[in-house]
Amino acid sequence: MYALNSPRDQYFTKAQRILKKLQNEKSRLVTTDYVIDEAVTTLLTTKRGGYHFAMNLLNWIFSPRKTSPQLRIEWITPSRFHRARVIFRRFNRDKTWSFTDCTSYALMNELKLKKAFTFDEHFTQMGFEVFE
């Protein structure tokens, strides 16, 4: 999400290309409240972002879109949070997966999702494919 909304990000052009492809395929995307929080906070607090970019992301997520892939927001429930804690404890002895990454791992396994729209190498470490 961050790369889609920050033209100064190294992955901005690639993210836009992938999004366009997903739009053409009428793909459905799933994200979480934790991913939204992480992306908005990063946009707000980095030199490459700022308030304008953070608000653009929030507006993009929460406004009706006819040409964008349908975006479903899944909330990290207490049971998902618990699974993320277990994942974090189990795998982070030799990795640096963020807690948000661990919540995504828990959700993706629960929903049997195989592919992630991300540029975060941790998702390939987790065994997921990423959109190219």
- Residues 90, 59, single domain; the answer is no
pLDDT, residue 66, reads 45
- Residues 47, 88, single domain; the answer is no
- 129-130/115-116 β-pairing: parallel
CA 103 to chain CA centroid, nearest Å: 11
Give mean pLDDT, residues 90-94: 93
Greater pLDDT, 9 or 77: 77
- Residues 83, 69, single domain; the answer is no
Given a cut of 60, whether residue 68 has pLDDT beyond it is: no
Q: What is the DSSP string of 41-75?
A: HHHHHSTT--HHHHHHHHHHHHS--SSSPEEEEEP
Given a cut of 60, whether residue 85 has pLDDT beyond it is: yes
Query: How many structural domains is the chain composed of?
Result: 2
- Residues 68, 80, single domain; the answer is no
Show the domain range for 121: 76-132
CATH code, domain with 131: 3.40.50.1010
- Residues 49, 68, single domain; the answer is yes
- Residues 45, 16, single domain; the answer is yes
Q: pLDDT digits over 18-57, tens only?
A: 888 887 787 888 999 999 999 999 989 987 778 998 998 8
Is the pTM higher than 0.75? The answer reads yes
